[in-house]
Amino acid sequence: MISKARYELDNKWLQLQVQDRDKSTDEGKFAALAHRLEDVSANLGDSYTVSVERERAGDSDRRDLYRGLLQQALLQYAETVLALDEMASVMARVRGFEPDFDSPMARPELGISHTVKTPDANRVTTFGADVSMLKQKNDSTNQSLSLLNLELSGKAEKGHWQIKRGRLIGSGAPHEAVLSLGNVAFEKYDLVVDFVLLQRDSQRFADLIFSLPVVQRPVCLRNTKKNETIIGFWGNTGLGDPTTSRTFSTSVPMQVTHRLVIRVRGESNVELMFNDKLVKSLTALPNVKKSQDGSNELKVILSPAAKVIFDKIDVVNQSQ
């Protein structure tokens, strides 16, 4: 609920051309407080969930630890709400607004939203020219497809996708979300993805999947329901096959920027890195399922209930 409210605020301010990036202004301070409230609310929910889980598991030490974090988050939540209220009052006084408690509130029409929503799997919506996905740079030493250079190219096949201030926001609720980013003609390339996980399902499960050109096999980053993280390819035994993936004993933290790098040097030579650490280096892909369409199209897929912000999706040509 807090995340939804903050992004609705961002959308409205963007449409009204309110400048909120300068933290010395009232608008910038309000936006920073709204972001802090979102972070604190996420910590509040996570601390409560883990404390209950540790209570059921009989782990009193970690239960008490997370109860302490829960109490701290509650205080921070209250402090942030009070600060937001005070900041809103300051902004109202500066602009000469007086509260009117007698008239009913009317919801203003703020124009057309850039959110793309596809209600069924058979419908394909193309982004408009102002919110496209990829731009190819022609250079003698480097070619890249960059999310931040916006031109007409992207297609949302399923789910909810939105470009806002150079950031891509994807949501899989209530079903999976699929976004096609176009063909990649490079035999050797690096896929560099900076992302923030905003939402998982009620059991802390989320999939972030990339359908890879050349390799034509999907790479998945999965938060499991056991608070583990699995990064790798699907094998004959599913995701989690130790020959093609790696399992970590902790889940990917939410509200934090992470970097996933996939280095492709041919159909069977792939290196996976997460947050600057090597996950897997494969010179062959035995027992790995191949994509059915056989295309060189790069796709991003989110599992149901997953919500992700992408700060970067770059494909850098390494063929030269």
Q: Are residues 39 and 151 in the same domain?
A: no
Residue 278 in domain? yes
pTM over 0.85? The answer is no
Helix, strand, or coil (residue 312): strand
Same domain assignment for residues 171 and 298:
yes
Sign, Cα dihedral of 210, 273, 247, 313 = negative
Residues 73 and 218 in one domain: no
144 and 11 in a single domain? The answer is no
Do residue 211 and residue 268 come from a single domain?
Answer: yes
Place of tokens 């996976």: 272
CA–CA distance from 239 to each of 1, 218, 231, 279, 288 (Å)?
32, 11, 8, 14, 10
| Owner of token pair 């700060």 | 311
Residue 194 sits at φ, ψ, to 5 deg, of: -105, 125
- Are residues 127 and 76 part of one domain? no
Q: Round to whole Å and give the CA distance between 153 and 180.
A: 9
Do 49 and 81 fall into the same domain?
yes
For residue 81, is it within any domain? Answer: yes
Q: What is the pLDDT of residues 226-280, one digit of tens each?
A: 888 999 988 767 788 888 889 988 888 888 889 999 999 888 889 999 998 999 8
CA distances to 2, 190, 202, 285, 291 from 213, rounded to whole Å, are 37, 11, 32, 15, 10
In a domain, 18, yes or no: yes
Query: Are residue 79 and residue 222 in the same domain, yes or no?
Result: no
Q: Are 275 and 190 part of one and the same domain?
A: yes
Residues 73 and 199 in one domain: no
- Lowest mean pLDDT of 82-96, 113-127, 133-147, 216-230, name the range: 113-127
Nearest partner of 145 among 302, 301, 320, 297, judged by Cα: 297
CA–CA dist 177, 196 (Å, integer): 16
Does residue 69 sit in the same domain as residue 149? no
Q: Tens digits of per-residue pLDDT, 153-170? A: 457 788 888 777 777 888
Closest CA to 277 of 210, 229, 205, 241: 229
Please indicate, yes or no, if residue 157 is contained in any of the structural domains: yes
State the Cα angle at 186 between 296 and 300, rounded to 5°: 45
C-alpha span between 248 and 227 (Å, rounded)? 9
| Residue-wise pLDDT tens digits, 281-310 | 888 776 676 665 666 788 899 998 899 998
Range(s) of the domain holding residue 40: 2-94
318 pLDDT above the threshold of 90 = no
Q: Residue 29: enclosing H or E segment and its boundaries?
A: helix 26-56
Q: Does one domain contain both 85 and 143?
A: no
- Is 238 buried (19+), middle (13-18) or exposed (0-12) by CB count in 10 A? exposed
